[in-house]
């Protein structure tokens, strides 16, 4: 309530503090998950210190560790925390192949935790930004001449349908041969809702939507494109460019600058978004937002990297990027979100790297003056540098 507020209350009423309080379910996950989550939480603490905002963190077990401690990869404690939260921040889950074998197939982290989380909140639209600022473009394995302006693509992946969630069966057929059957299923509403998101994003950005499909082979893509023709009637200002998914894979390498917003079904999006991480130079640069009708959750696109867990070398960019996406998309804190992005980018633009990032470009501007290796920072050092810059941005605004 501002002092100018025409309130009818008496002057003895204390003016309530205008506080934006948010509940966040915190699912740190497995292996490097807790290490990178610690850095993400530092960002929330810093924002709470400098802005009129409060975050209540509901920590809960989730993933392979949760199976061992609670008997379930997505235990009731985690469901309750997620149900109660305004948004969910999830770290990567899963253990090494050998460790995973100790867990029944249906309770392994992917099938037992991630897919049920997506289904529970119907998080149908997965935003996967594939972004490198021009000053970070030396991280890309692509030639600088291919990405003169960096990379800036928003890949939107359908997340709760298709092969991932279709009927599955295994058995022995009439010839005595073992067989498997997995079904790519969509109803028209599932397709329509994610296409609408794609069109809206294209409208807000450059007015061009790349529709990625395989309609030369798959009936599901023919149907997808039929629904697209219906949806596009409401978006006459958006240009649609159709591209087959295999051709899109090539184009992402040869000329990523042709893409702005891309929309596609679940499995295509899983594969092409990892390729997105490839052209950035690391999946460690890929945060993502999983948006449902009532709730969203935020997770890095990468796995839990058990081989480097506990070494304090994981890149926390994607996890901190998830915080930035959550601030903007779930809480409407756009300026704060922008500050988090700016802080992280300025650290990389100053020449620092993390262990996952190699510098591909021989003429990298930092290599003459300073050895890139000398500027390779740990998980906590990257966090320290981001916090210094973020605090500067928050206090100079």
Judge whether 164 counts as a catalytic residue. Answer: yes
Residue 270 interacts with Mg ion (CB under 5 A): yes or no: yes
Residues that bind ligand IPM (CB under 6 A): 110, 114, 270, 301
CB closer to ligand IPM, 252 vs 347:
252
Catalytic residue among 214, 297, 328, 352, which? 214
Judge whether 246 counts as a catalytic residue. Answer: yes
CB closer to ligand IPM, 86 vs 110:
110
User: Shortest gap between Cβ of 113 and Mg ion (angstroms)?
Assistant: 15
User: Shortest gap between Cβ of 123 and Mg ion (angstroms)?
Assistant: 14
Q: Residue 154 binds which entry of Mg ion, ligand IPM, none, with Cβ cut-offs from 5 to 8 Å by kind? A: none
Distance CA 383, CA 381 (A): 5
CB closer to Mg ion, 288 vs 379:
288
Catalytic residue among 131, 164, 186, 298, which? 164
- Nearest residue to 156 (alpha-carbon basis) of 121, 113, 191, 117: 191
Judge whether 384 counts as a catalytic residue. Answer: no
CB closer to ligand IPM, 336 vs 356:
356
Judge whether 328 counts as a catalytic residue. Answer: no
Residue nearest to Mg ion (CB): 270
User: Shortest gap between Cβ of 111 and ligand IPM (angstroms)?
Assistant: 8
Percentages helix, strand, coil for the chain (3-state, rounded to 5) are 45, 20, 35
Distance CA 44, CA 308 (A): 25
CB closer to ligand IPM, 97 vs 178:
97
* Crossing angle (nearest 10°) for helices 379-396 and 33-50: 20
Catalytic residue among 246, 311, 334, 365, which? 246
DSSP string, 124-184: -EEEEEEEE-GGGGGGSSS-TTT-TT-EEEEEEEE-SSBTTTS-EEEEE-TTS-EEEEE--
Catalytic residue among 86, 135, 260, 274, which? 274
Judge whether 52 counts as a catalytic residue. Answer: no
- Nearest residue to 22 (alpha-carbon basis) of 89, 87, 90: 87
Angle, alpha carbons 324-326-328 (nearest 5°): 75
Residue nearest to ligand IPM (CB): 110
For the purposes of burial, counting CB atoms within 10 Å of the CB of 307, is it exposed (0-12), middle (13-18) or buried (19 or more)? exposed
Residues in contact with Mg ion by CB under 5 A are 270
Q: Which residues are catalytic?
A: 164, 214, 246, 270, 274
């Amino acid at each position: 309530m501002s002092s100018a507020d025409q309130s009818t209350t008496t002057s003895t009423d204390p003016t309530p503090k205008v506080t934006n309080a948010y509940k966040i379910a915190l699912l740190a996950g497995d292996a490097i998950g807790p290490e990178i989550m610690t850095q993400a939480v530092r960002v929330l603490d810093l924002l709470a210190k400098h802005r009129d905002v409060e975050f209540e963190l509901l920590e809960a077990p989730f993933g392979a560790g949760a199976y061992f401690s609670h008997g379930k990869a997505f235990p009731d404690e985690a469901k309750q925390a997620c149900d109660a939260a305004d948004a969910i921040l999830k770290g990567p889950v899963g253990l090494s192949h050998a460790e995973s074998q100790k867990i029944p197939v249906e309770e392994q982290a992917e099938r037992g935790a991630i897919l049920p989380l997506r289904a529970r909140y119907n998080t149908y639209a997965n935003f996967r930004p594939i972004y490198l600022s021009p000053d970070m473009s030396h991280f890309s394995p692509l030639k600088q001449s291919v990405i003169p302006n960096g990379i800036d693509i928003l890949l939107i992946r359908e997340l709760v349908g298709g092969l991932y969630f279709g009927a599955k069966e295994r058995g022995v057929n009439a010839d005595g041969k073992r067989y498997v059957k997995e079904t790519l299923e969509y109803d028209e509403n599932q397709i329509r809702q994610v296409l609408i998101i794609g069109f809206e994003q294209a409208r807000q950005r450059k007015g061009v939507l790349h529709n990625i499909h395989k309609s030369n082979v798959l009936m599901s893509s023919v149907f997808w494109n039929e629904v697209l023709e219906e949806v596009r009637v409401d978006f006459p200002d958006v240009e649609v460019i159709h591209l087959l998914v295999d051709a899109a894979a090539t184009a992402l390498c040869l000329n990523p600058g042709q893409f702005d917003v891309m929309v596609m079904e679940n499995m295509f999006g899983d594969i092409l978004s990892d390729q997105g991480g490839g052209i950035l130079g690391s999946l460690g640069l890929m945060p993502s937002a999983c948006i449902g009708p009532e709730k969203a959750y935020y997770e890095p696109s990468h796995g839990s990297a058990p081989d480097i867990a506990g070494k304090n070398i994981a890149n926390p960019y994607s996890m901190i990027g998830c915080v930035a996406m959550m601030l903007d998309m779930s809480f409407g804190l756009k300026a704060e979100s922008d500050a988090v992005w700016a802080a992280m980018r300025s650290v990389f633009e100053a020449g620092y790297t993390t262990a996952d990032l190699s510098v591909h470009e021989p003429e990298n501007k930092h290599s003459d003056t300073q050895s890139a290796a000398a500027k390779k920072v740990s998980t906590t050092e990257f966090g320290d540098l981001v916090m210094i810059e973020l605090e500067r941005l928050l206090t100079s605004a």
